Amino acid sequence: MTLGQATPLRRVVMASLIGTTIEWYDFFLYGSAAALVFNRLFFPSYDPLTGTLLAFATYALGFVARPVGGIVFGHFGDRIGRKRLLMLSLVLMGVATVLIGLLPTYGQIGVWAPILLILLRLVQGFAVGGEWGGAVLMAAEHGDAARRGFWASWPQAGVPAGNLLAAGVLALMSGVQTEADFLAWGWRVPFVLSAVLVLVGWYIRNRVAESRLFQAALDEAEIPPKLPAIEVIRERPRAILVGAGLRWGENISYYILTVFSLTFLVDVAAETRGLALRALLIGAAAQFLAIPFFAFLSDRIGRRPVYAFGGIGLAVWSFALFPLLGSGDQLSIHLALVVGLVLHGAMYGPQAAFITELFPTRIRYSGVSIAYQLTSILAGSLAPIIALWLYRESGSAMPVSIYVGASCAISGVSALLARETRGLELAAIQ
C-alpha cells in the first residue's frame, strides 16, 4: 500500500469532530428520550419511576453492544484502515436512529414496540462502539507528539456537542409544543432529523485521507495482524487495565450527570422538563469548551496531573451535586451541572491521547476500542439504573453520591499510578 496525499490536520480534526458529534447526537438522543418520554410510550403499564427504570434498561443495552462494535470495528480497522470503518459506523448509527423515530408505540403494536426499540438500540451501540476508536486515531495519528492531547481531544468534544445538539432539539420541540403533541409526535422529529446530519457527516469524512501512520505501519508489517484483539490482550494486558481504570469513574459520572440528573430533576425534584434540559444544555456547552482546554493543559504539564484533578475533583463535587439539583433554585441547578461537567472535561479532554499512547500502531484501533468500550458494560450502561435503584431503596441521594464519588476516585488514582505518556512518538511505541 502506498502513502496517499496527506490531509491537512485541521480538516482531519473537523471531520472527526463533526462525525463524532452526529453519532453521539444519535446515541444521546435515546438517553434523553428514555429519561423523558419512553417510559410513557413504550412501558405505559408502570408507575413513572419503574417505567423509567425499564427505559433505562433498554438504554443500557446500547452499552452492551458497544464492546462488540469496538472489537469488530477494531479488527477491520487494524487490517484495512480507519476511514472505511468510520464511514460504516456513521451510516449504521443514522439508519438505526431514524427507524427509532418511526417506531409505533406500545399502544399501537403492543409488546413489539419495546422489542424493536431494543433491537435498534443494539445497532446504535454497535455503531458507536466502533466510532470512538477510529475518530480519535484519525486525529491522533495525523497530529504531532507535542500537541497530540489538544488535537485528539476534538473528537472527545464531539460527545458534549452531540449531547448539546440532542438536548437542544428536544428542548426546542418541548418548548413549542403542548405536552400531548410532544408525546404524540414531537419527540420523533429529532430522531428523523438524523438522516440529514448523516449525509453532512458522510460528505465531510469522505474528504479525509487514511491515516499515513497506519499505512506506513501496514507497509512495514507486510501482513496485517490476523486477530488484533487477541494480540492486544496477550501483549498489552496492563494497558487495558490502565484504560479501564481511567474510564471507570469518568464513564459512570458522565451518565449520572447527563441522564440520571434529568430523571432526578423531573421525577424527584418536580422541576419542569424545560428547566432540566436547559441546565443540561448550559452544562454541555461549558464542557465543550473545557475539553480542549484541559487537553491543551495536558500537553504542557502532563496527562496524569490533569486527569487526576478531574477525577478527584468530581469525587468531591458529587456530594454537592444532588443537594444543589434538589434545591429548587435555578442558579444552583445550573451550577451543579456546569461544575460537574467541567470537572468531567478534565478527565475526558486528555483521555483520547492518554489511551492512544498505550498501544502500538498495528493493533491500536483494537487496543483503544477494547480499553474504552469494555468498561462501559459495567460502568456507564448500569450507572443510571444503579443510581435510580439506590435512590428508590434509600429515599436519599446520598448513596448515589457515594457511588459516583468512589468511582471518580478510582479514575483519579488510576491516573496517578499510570505511566506519563505526554510527548511520546506514536511510531516509536512497540
Phi, psi of 419 (to 5 degrees): -80, 140
- Non-local (6+) Cβ contacts of 184 within 8 A are none
At residue 223, the pLDDT reads 67
Asked whether residue 252 carries a pLDDT value surpassing 80, the answer given is yes
Give the amino acid at 157.
A
Continuous segment of H or E residues that includes residue 259 = none
* pLDDT attached to residue 4: 43
Give pLDDT tens digits for 278-308.
Answer: 898 899 899 999 999 999 999 999 999 999 9
Q: Mean of the pLDDT values across residues 144-168?
A: 86
Count CA within 13 A, CB hemisphere, residue 389.
9
Q: Indicate if the pLDDT at residue 7 is higher than 90.
A: no
Best CA proximity match to 86, nearest among 73, 95, 75 = 73
The band of 3, judged by pLDDT with boundaries at 50, 70 and 90, is: very low
**According to the per-residue pLDDT averaged within each range, which of 78-87, 127-136, 225-234, 309-318 is highest?**
309-318
pLDDT digits 0-9 by tens, 49-63: 666 666 667 667 777
Measure Cα distances from 290 to 6, 126, 156, 166, 295 in Å: 29, 28, 11, 19, 8
Assign domain 9-428 one CATH number from 3.10.20.30, 1.20.1250.20, 1.10.3720.10, 2.60.40.1240. 1.20.1250.20
Q: 360: part of which helix (H) or strand (E)?
A: none
Give the per-residue pLDDT at 222: 58
Domain boundaries, the chain: 9-428
Distance of CA 81 to CAs 73, 229, 282, Å? Answer: 10, 15, 37
pLDDT tens figures, 52-97: 666 667 667 777 788 888 888 888 888 877 778 878 888 888 898 8
Q: Report which residue type is found at 363.
A: I
Segment among 10-19, 210-219, 270-279 with least mean pLDDT: 210-219
| b/e per residue 389-419 (b: at least 16 CB within 10 A) | bbbeeeeebebbbebbbebbbbbbbbbeebe
| Predicted local distance difference test score (pLDDT) of residue 231 | 92
The answer to whether residues 161 and 288 touch, using CB atoms and an 8 Å cutoff, is: yes
d(CA 384, CA 52): 10
Rounded to whole angstroms, the Cα distance separating 91 from 368 reads 22
How confident is residue 140, by pLDDT bands cut at 50, 70 and 90? confident
For residue 6, the 8-state DSSP code is P
Q: What local confidence, expressed as pLDDT, does residue 289 receive? A: 95
pLDDT for position 28:
73
Task: Return the C-alpha torsion angle 157, 359, 81, 90, nearest 10.
Answer: -30
User: What is the tens place of the pLDDT at every residue in 326-368?
Assistant: 999 999 999 999 999 999 999 999 999 999 999 988 888 888 8
- The pLDDT-based confidence of 202 (bands split at 50, 70, 90) is confident
pLDDT at 2: 39
Q: In the 8-state DSSP scheme, what is residue 264? A: I
- pLDDT, position 1: 38
For residues 17 and 314, which has the higher predicted lDDT (pLDDT)?
314
Identify the pLDDT of residue 412. Answer: 97
Are 85 and 138 contacting, i.e. CB atoms less than 8 angstroms apart? no
Q: How far apart are CA 377 and CA 137, in angstroms?
A: 22
Q: Rounded CA gap, 319 and 424, in Å?
A: 37
* 429: pLDDT strictly greater than 80: no
Q: pTM for the full model?
A: 0.82
- Please tell me the distance from the alpha carbon of residue 202 to that of residue 200, in angstroms, as a whole number: 5
What's the confidence (pLDDT) of residue 181? 83
Q: How much is the mean pLDDT over the chain?
A: 85
pLDDT score for 59: 66
Please tell me the predicted confidence (pLDDT) of residue 199: 86
Strand, coil or helix: 420: coil
- Which tens digits make up the pLDDT trace of 361-410? 888 888 888 888 888 888 987 898 899 999 999 999 999 999 999 999 99
